[in-house]
Structure formats: structure tokens, C-alpha cells
Amino acid sequence: MSDKKVLSIEITSEQESQLESRASERGFTSLADYLLALVEADMSEVEPDDERIDAVESFKQGWHEAMTDQVITLDQMWAMLEDEDDE
């Protein structure tokens, strides 16, 4: 037995025509394949909560480094970047 489900949405004829055009432009042979690809792409994107957590962790690390005097001056940073360019 298949675990697939059927979903339906209500759209106008104009919306259907636009979606079919976009599906065709992008090489899909059916509107269903195009819509499924859109859903799969959306589900594979990084979740906003994950991005927020990454930003918080990055801030925590930077704050810790600043508070423990693990910093370099801007001149030192430029010198390091110039050294990398010379390699």
C-alpha cells in the first residue's frame, strides 16, 4: 500500500495557466511535478530557527573572545590578509 496522499488547492484558471507556463519554462512535463519540486525545494531550505541559532552561537563566540581579550587590531587583521594575498 502506498503512503502517498493527495492534496488539493483551489486556484483560478489564470493562476493555473501561469503555473503551467512556469512549469514548462523550467522543463517540467506536468504541473504536479513542478509543484512537488517547489515543495521539496522549500522543505530543503535552512529553517529560520536554525539561522537564528547559528547567529546566536556566533555572537556568543565573538562575545567570549572579546571578553577574554582574544582580539587583534584592525592593522593586524589587514597585515594578515595581505600576507594571505602574497602566498
pLDDT tens for residues 7-51?
Answer: 888 999 999 999 999 999 999 999 999 999 998 888 877 666 677
Which residue range(s) make up the domain with 22? Answer: 13-44
| Whether the predicted model's global pTM rises above the 0.85 cut | no
- Does the pLDDT at position 87 exceed 90? no
87 three-class SS: coil
Q: The cell 531550505 sits on which residue? A: 45
Say yes or no: 34 and 55 in one domain: no
Say yes or no: 52 and 82 in one domain: yes
Domain contains 57: yes
Say yes or no: 20 and 38 in one domain: yes
Residue 18 identity: Q
Question: Is residue 19 within 8 Å of 11, Cβ to Cβ?
Answer: yes
Residue 40: its pLDDT value, please?
87
71 three-class SS: coil
Say yes or no: 52 and 39 in one domain: no
Domain count across the chain: 2
Say yes or no: 34 and 53 in one domain: no
- Report the C-alpha gap between 41 and 83 in whole angstroms: 41
